[in-house]
């Protein structure tokens, strides 16, 4: 039967040599992260006199809460120096926060379970519920929390050389940008720095995450970067979000960041910055799928499928445009899918589409969308030329009151992500003997 011990009970346990003499006391346990496998215990840090020394796992004959027995009395007394890829469970994990990937929240690791499998020890579970105290002592077994599989979490090690061995994404790569933004807004400076380092490996994801951040957090995190680094993020963001982010930066930094943007994105951002941020012009996306009325349904669907750079929310409709992009009509993608592929857009489109001017207040745009059950509204100038399109998600983001936006989000449905690999350890971790 596999044996399980708890790190909290192991710390300061006497370490006894093969001759029965006490060598020192346990200061920490070293593990190596192994991707989808459970972290492997590779050694111990033992305090001997006034120094900390390293003991390889192979030298440990027995790991127990009462005493740790070595296979021989000989100990290398050279001072312990952390090596690349090593994670120290007491220093890096115990008492620190980890990311609960399934429930998308930061939780604290109050204890760690180590399980012996064959002749090796592995980290299998974390205890993330604050232990109840009574007169400074832990209560009985009935008050113990449920133990949860290590694979439900992503550790925030806070040690750059150790973080590199986890790969570019690990479990965080499966989270949605909005989830990652929520984590960043709950993280402290050290935690947010490490999360951003992970996200930075995918520049497109990084831009999506910054789009989801609240403006004050967005400004704070961007402000810690150089002008060129800010421009790299804004270049991949939607132009309307990039314009909003730029407007929130200190005045002295706006022009240098603008100058560092690619020409195409710079033109879009400057165009949007010319409008009131709370107007249809300030919120609109500039990329609009507009075709001539004599185009066929099949051609319109093909064009929608090839518009990979467009904001997906803006592709719910195709607009008919005449000379100088004057708005002539609109047809939804669903209507296109239901129409004869050979039919002309002129024959299937609504020739009197709802529209808004660039100075229209966002609240009025919201009323238009509500009255006409619309997901998008085209924005036109005084001569009915298409300037852009405003989408329902942009309107909702602008009209939801600030105090509502900052409410606690609803709880995530209870679930756990499946991981291939060894069977997880039992959630009922017994106390170490």
User: Strand, coil or helix: what is 251?
Assistant: helix
d(CA 127, CA 131): 9
Q: What is the per-residue pLDDT for 138?
A: 47
Q: What is the per-residue pLDDT for 73?
A: 77
Q: What is the per-residue pLDDT for 75?
A: 81
In this structure, what token pair is assigned to residue 333?
Answer: 């993608």
Q: What is the per-residue pLDDT for 74?
A: 81
In this structure, what token pair is assigned to residue 224?
Answer: 């810690």
Question: Mean pLDDT of successive 10-residue segments in the chain (433 residues)?
Answer: 85 89 93 89 92 92 91 83 88 93 91 92 92 52 70 77 51 84 92 88 92 93 95 94 94 96 95 92 93 96 92 91 95 96 96 96 95 96 96 87 62 48 46 46
Half-sphere exposure of 290 (CA within 13 A, CB side): 21
d(CA 333, CA 318): 7
Q: What are the E-state strand segments in 207-322? A: 290-291, 317-321
Q: What is the per-residue pLDDT for 118?
A: 84
Q: What is the per-residue pLDDT for 272?
A: 94
Same fold, 3-155 and 167-274: no
Q: How many helices (H) and strands (E) does the chain have?
A: 17, 21
Q: What is the per-residue pLDDT for 422?
A: 40
Widest CA span of the chain, in angstroms? Answer: 94
Span 3-155 CATH architecture: Roll (2.30)
Superfamily of domain 167-274: MgtE N-terminal domain-like (1.25.60.10)
Please choose, from the candidates 173, 138, 191, 199, the residue with its C-alpha nearest in 3D space to the C-alpha of residue 6.
Answer: 138
Q: What is the per-residue pLDDT for 7?
A: 95
Q: What is the per-residue pLDDT for 185?
A: 93
d(CA 80, CA 51): 8
The DSSP element (H or E) to which 48 belongs, if any, is strand 37-48
Q: What is the per-residue pLDDT for 261?
A: 97
Q: Where are the domains positioned within the chain? A: 3-155, 167-274, 290-403
> What pTM value is reported for the model?
0.78
CATH topology for 290-403?
CBS-domain (3.10.580)
């Amino acid at each position: 039967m596999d044996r399980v011990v708890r790190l909290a009970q192991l710390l300061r346990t006497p370490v006894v040599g093969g001759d029965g003499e006490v060598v020192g006391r346990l200061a920490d346990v070293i593990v190596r992260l192994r991707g989808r496998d459970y972290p492997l215990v590779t050694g111990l840090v033992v305090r001997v006199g006034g120094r900390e020394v390293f003991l390889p796992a192979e030298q440990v004959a027995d790991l127990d809460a009462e005493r740790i027995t070595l296979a021989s009395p000989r100990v290398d007394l050279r001072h312990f120096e952390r090596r690349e890829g090593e994670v120290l469970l007491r220093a890096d994990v115990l008492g620190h926060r980890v990311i609960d990937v399934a429930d998308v929240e930061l939780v604290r690791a109050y204890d760690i379970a180590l399980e012996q499998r064959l002749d090796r020890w592995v980290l299998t579970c974390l205890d993330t519920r604050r232990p109840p105290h009574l007169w400074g002592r832990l209560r009985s077994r009935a008050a113990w929390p449920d133990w949860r599989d290590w694979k439900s979490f992503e550790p925030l090690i806070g040690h750059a050389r150790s973080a590199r061995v986890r790969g570019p994404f690990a479990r965080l790569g499966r989270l949605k940008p909005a989830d990652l933004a929520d984590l960043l807004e709950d993280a402290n400076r050290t935690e947010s720095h490490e999360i951003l380092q992970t996200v930075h490996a995918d520049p497109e994801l990084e831009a999506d995450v910054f789009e989801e951040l609240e403006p004050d957090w967005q400004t704070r995190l961007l402000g810690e970067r150089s002008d060129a680094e800010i421009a790299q993020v804004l270049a991949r963001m939607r132009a309307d979000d990039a314009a909003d982010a730029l407007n929130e930066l200190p005045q002295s930094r706006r022009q240098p960041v603008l100058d560092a943007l690619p020409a195409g994105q710079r033109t879009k951002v400057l165009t949007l910055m010319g409008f009131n941020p709370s107007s249809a012009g300030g919120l609109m996306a500039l990329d609009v799928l507009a075709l001539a009325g004599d185009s066929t349904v099949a051609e319109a669907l093909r064009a929608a499928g090839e518009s990979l750079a467009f904001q997906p929310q803006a592709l719910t409709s195709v607009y008919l445009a005449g000379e100088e992009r004057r708005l002539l009509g609109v047809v939804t993608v669903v209507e296109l899918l239901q129409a004869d592929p050979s039919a002309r857009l002129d024959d299937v489109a609504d020739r009197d589409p709802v529209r808004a001017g660039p100075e229209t207040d966002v609240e009025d745009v919201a009323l238009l969308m509500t009255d006409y059950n619309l997901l998008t509204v085209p924005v036109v100038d005084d001569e009915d030329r298409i300037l852009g399109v405003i989408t329902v998600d942009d309107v909702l983001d602008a009209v939801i009151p600030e105090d509502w936006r900052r409410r606690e989000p609803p709880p995530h449905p209870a679930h756990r992500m499946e991981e291939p690999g060894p069977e997880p350890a039992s959630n009922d971790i017994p106390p170490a003997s």
